[in-house]
Structure 1
């Protein structure tokens, strides 16, 4: 706004200088060039004498040029001061914007830190500790081979728990305890895809855990998607889709920002 006002003032001053130039310089100079002499009455009114007028118009020419220089100088000083004022206003506005951006960044970081604290609290809750304990016990029990990797063995055990859960509530509860881990990673994957949390932070906090979950659960998730599709589920691919995305995203992931040593 200040710069626009300065530009408008500068245009008006230039226009005024042009008008002054036309009225006080161009017109007198034209008269100066056209007149060679002027007939005037003498002091007694008895006759006329011819008086050379060039000296007079030369003085007018000099005065108007000097006046134009003064006007131009005043215009430049005014424009310069307006420019300084505009720059000061701009600097003040930039400082205010910078302060507001810093405040917004602080608020965003605080909100993000709260998300991490909530995530840590959930991962360390009693139910999650139960699920993690069962996961590591079963993982230690299974012995993968080249023919039957860990994911295949884990899927067979999980599928057995799911099938037995149809008639045995305790088996269904045990299966639910394992899926509680995937529910956590599903929420985490969705937050990462929506940029609520940073992949770098997930990498530093849970990269090893996600690798273990991937080796253990991915085969089972794929098989459940296939079986749900066979049953006519309208969107079987959405079964823990964010968990799949997150686990694959962490494979070979290189954080953009290295932590200070």
Structure 2
């Protein structure tokens, strides 16, 4: 199946270190070679890059490794196709507008007998179960809350219910963000860590790269990294429980009630 990578921070931060290790799994240290993509929130906009080539063969992926784009919310994906041909329109993450803001979504898993009725407001362009699930998710949120975006606690409750419904059809590991928060739902494999002062020296597991984060951060910085499988060998990663959904804001998991 595919793999996911997300980053949520309290200040704009680049994801070059994590993406360097993650992209290596797209055809070199693992066989997720059916395309890749990444999306960076920047103000009200989104920088969105996708390619149907394997991440290890893509000049665009090399550009991302060399270009330190800074963002508070990033979602990336490397694809191993299960449904839908290898094509640009089937590459994650997917982007849609709702409530006057962009929503970015990526999925790792495989959904069986998932044929929801869509009312036409959100429709897939490609042929993946993932994009279909994204369209259904947004449609149901819009039906529940109408034209006004709800407060975070109500939105989180709705997302947990919808993710559980969709996950009844198979594996549904996802990341979703509107640029203010990052939502991560786990069916079977998802891990996270929070980097904050005092910052560590981190060693990638997929590449011979070491970074001393204390040299490139301030004591106030905080960064949460969420990924399918741990990216480093010398940090403590926390595994999600099956069926668990976490909300990340300002570089840490939060209780949505605090933001009511």
TM-score, structure 1 normalization: 0.24
Q: Which has the higher contact order (CA 8 A, sep 6+)?
A: 2
Higher helix share: 1
TM-score, structure 2 normalization: 0.24
